Structure 1
């Protein structure tokens, strides 16, 4: 009887281990870093889009400070496909990445731009210069 229980447990463990290997990995979004006032090209479904980070308004609570709220960072991008151009403004509030998406239109085509991260994070007593900012974004055709 003990042998049947041991064989049954081993069989169950083997099934559990093999199902772990069968899972397909989730596709991760590929983020592109965009530096302040530097032209960056992002390929979206084979279409090259030129992105420029125009403005950064950072009111996030510095790392080594005590604040009432985490604050937010607002960024403004200019996006062009060579013929058409538009601006997109995105806010990252309380580091909530779920709300950091903006829909925009270029030449009749809709796109979604998502902001993942704005660095560097503020730190006292230093003041971050605009030229130091870099924003991680991804753009998708919708």
Structure 2
């Protein structure tokens, strides 16, 4: 009996950790999401997950030949279909970066606004430290 109870409790905890957060795009124009976390856009079946972050931005207080950029890959899932959407944001963007994509026959536009933390000389950033600010709209 104890084993059954423990197994059920463990499954509930694991399920709670894997559930996507729900965000209503009508009330929230921007979403901030941590690395490897996902969000479901309310009123849609679209789940967005921050799958990968590759940061080559020149660190604060460093001298670099180029300013670099940060590349974020999202897993966009809808109706059992998943597409990988990769967006690059320059180190000092004049405006947000936009990318159109389609999942399960529905077109969307992703706007990547910011990726934090910004690299700094002498500080190591782990992937789990990153948060990504973006928005998604139907086209």
Do Structure 1 and Structure 2 share a fold, with TM-score over 0.5?
Answer: yes
Cα distance, 1:131 vs structure 2: 0.3
Q: CA deviation at 1:67?
A: 1.8
2:36 and 2:66 map into 1 onto residues whose CA distance is 29
> Which 10-residue stretch deviates more, 59-68 or 121-130?
59-68
Query: Structure 1 residues 132 and 48 mapped into 2: Cα distance closer, same or farther (>3 Å)?
Result: same
Cα distance in structure 2, aligned partners of 1:49 and 1:108? 12
1:23-102 matches, within 5 Å, as 30-43=29-42, 46-96=43-93, 98=95, 100-102=97-99
Residues 4-51 of structure 1: CA deviation (Å, up to 9, x unaligned): xxxxxxxxxxxxxxxxxxxxxxxxx811011111122233xx214211
- Contact 1:93/1:99, CA 8 A, preserved across alignment: no
Match of 2:135 in 1: 138
Q: Structure 2: how far apart are the matches of 1:84 and 1:41?
A: 14
TM-score (norm 1): 0.72
Report what 2:125 is aligned to. 128
CA shift, 1:83, in A, is 2.2
CA–CA separation in structure 2 for the residues paired with 1:97 and 1:139: 20
Offset at 1:69?
Answer: 2.1
Structure 1: runs of 5 or more not aligned: 1-28
Structure 1's consecutive aligned runs of 4 or more residues displaced over 4 angstroms after TM superposition are: none
User: Which of 1 and 2 has greater Rg?
Assistant: 1
**Cα RMSD over matched residues?**
1.9
Q: Which has more helix, going by share of residues?
A: 1
Unaligned runs of 5+ residues in structure 2 are 1-27
Q: CA deviation at 1:99?
A: 6.1
3-state DSSP class of the match of 1:34? strand
